[in-house]
Structure 1
């Protein structure tokens, strides 16, 4: 099967470069090129590509505006190309807000050791999005109340247990009798949207700390943590070396580094390391590295969740956690952008439950609060 790709970029050189790389894979065919968002709208409607690669800064119509209009008229999986700067991070998050599913830096050397690795990465990321169903914007920048009202779609028998936002804020701490001492979540492609869906539903007095690992460049994680913190009732911060884990605070692993822990439950300190400390680990940050450290500190008193993403990062960490008695969940295939990481823990019989992302937060609250 051949997948049809539309390339959108105002640089003739970059379009030629991407076309050459993609068509080195026999399964990928570039069926059209556009030099701005306005041309992209017309070509998406006429060519009906399987995936669109989209630049952010373009004349006539920029990439973010184009994504919004495409998702409103002819939804299609879109992967953004962005710069690894603070401005690039904010623009990329806005593009994900508008409905894009994934992103890559325009300088491939920022994420790959050599040309061959960069080529495979781009080809695989594009193919992973082919065939995915998309339905307009993901609403990353909605208000807290809007996010809660739209995502709170638990079955009726669960709603009364969880109650309204206000009742959860006042009752969760008092009712916490759970064995859990940490919630750990790992994700990659599609993760920013999936994490937002979960974290906007957690109450401010969530009774345990939360550790988050999202595959993301170092220049992106601070901006992503701030955006989530603005949306959520729980506190969300980019993890810093020496931070002590506190209930109701979510710690996002910084991009380009590894996050581990030391100490004992109730007095756990974050250790942020340069990637050289883990020379054989591909992902920076790595779910496996963080989850294995969580297992060492908290043993089995952990609820660990693997969300949408390519590859199998998290499988070994979850295996260690489960051997200690922890509970492992995964996002279900239907609600994933890419069913790679959740599939890895599911087919290995590590995951004990698979949930739609729309219901995940409710299941977390019921499980931890009881």
Structure 2
């Protein structure tokens, strides 16, 4: 069965171009197009698409408000297209908070260096969102039987050689699709005097991460900063990895500093959860706690393996609360996870784990 897509954009050229690209894939069919948010609302009801692609700036009803209306009546995932500008980043983050599932830059050359990779990224993203949404609907009908053997929320795996005498010295959080909202839910519940530094690795373009850090900082009690090379890690500060770069750790005497480096072209994720987790495993070893949140793909699995080998604990988000159960699924299937939580339940356990008053 093909993935049914509704394309929404006020540019007839972009609607036509996007339709042609999506219809190249034998597993995708554009069932309708709309030129504004009002048309989109009607067509969602009429065609019941599996995925909606949505522009932000449109007449009559903009993309952000259209997403809000769609999410009130439907769980259809919405993929936003946005410009890589400061205003575009702000609007995209608002769209994600309104209920959009994911986003891509509107210019294909901003998605990837070559056209073929950009098109593949788009097609994979659409199919991934559809698969996740269909799976979520199936779970509501048949319960959890499809995921027999998977960990349930708040379940615990007892692992050998994991008797911890003190609280962790660092909190690591990796996320991708659905991550901006998930991170907000976790971080806003942490106190200003949280006793450890927090490293955030969210898949996001470089034009978006400064705005996202600023947004989180305005919502959270902990201080959220856009990570820069040479910053010393401090408790109660969350460091968001810059888009397009890699975030590593360096230890000098008893202090730990950030090392922000250019990413090799052959690395898929920039920033990469695997790279930061792996670096933390060498510096903090058993004194780290890592969370793997919602996201497409398996980034973070190999880094989690290195952390586990060093004695660190790994917590994962449960399938039911994920936008896309890809990254958490990978670490669960690999047997690397100590605990699994619904996204709303992380904060209570973090406060207990870090012995917050």
TM-score, normalization: structure 1? Answer: 0.85
Q: Is the 8 A contact 1:181 1:265 kept in 2?
A: no
Is there any run of 5+ residues in structure 2 with no aligned partner, and where? 138-152, 155-164
- 1: distance between equivalents of 2:353 and 2:39? 49
What corresponds to 1:120 in structure 2?
Answer: 120
Aligned match of 2:245 in 249, 253, 257?
A: 257
Aligned match of 2:189 in 201, 217, 220?
A: 201
> How far apart are residue 264 of structure 1 and its match?
5.0
Q: Is the 8 A contact 1:205 1:234 kept in 2?
A: yes
Q: Let me know the Cα RMSD of the aligned residues.
A: 1.8
Secondary structure of residue in 2 paired with 1:289? helix
- 2: distance between equivalents of 1:264 and 1:195? 29
- Correspondence list, 1:93-242, <5 A: 93-130=93-130, 132=133, 178-242=166-230
- 2: distance between equivalents of 1:348 and 1:97? 31
What corresponds to 2:3 in structure 1?
Answer: 3
- Correspondence list, 1:234-313, <5 A: 234-263=222-251, 266-275=254-263, 278-313=264-299
> How far apart are residue 279 of structure 1 and its match?
4.2
**Change in CA separation of 1:265 and 1:95 when aligned onto 2, cut-off 3 Å:** farther
In the comparison of the two structures, how many residue pairs are matched? 329
**Change in CA separation of 1:279 and 1:65 when aligned onto 2, cut-off 3 Å:** closer
What corresponds to 1:350 in structure 2?
Answer: 336
What corresponds to 2:23 in structure 1?
Answer: 23
> How far apart are residue 50 of structure 1 and its match?
1.1
> How far apart are residue 70 of structure 1 and its match?
1.8
Report the more deviating stretch, 84-93 or 54-63: 54-63
- 2: distance between equivalents of 1:369 and 1:96? 32
- 1: distance between equivalents of 2:252 and 2:199? 15
- 1: distance between equivalents of 2:242 and 2:185? 20
**Change in CA separation of 1:37 and 1:207 when aligned onto 2, cut-off 3 Å:** same
Moved over 4 A (4+): none
What corresponds to 2:141 in structure 1?
Answer: none
- 1: distance between equivalents of 2:124 and 2:201? 21
Secondary structure of residue in 2 paired with 1:300? helix
TM-score, normalization: structure 2? Answer: 0.88
> How far apart are residue 320 of structure 1 and its match?
0.6
- 1: distance between equivalents of 2:346 and 2:196? 17
Is there any run of 5+ residues in structure 1 with no aligned partner, and where? 136-153, 156-176
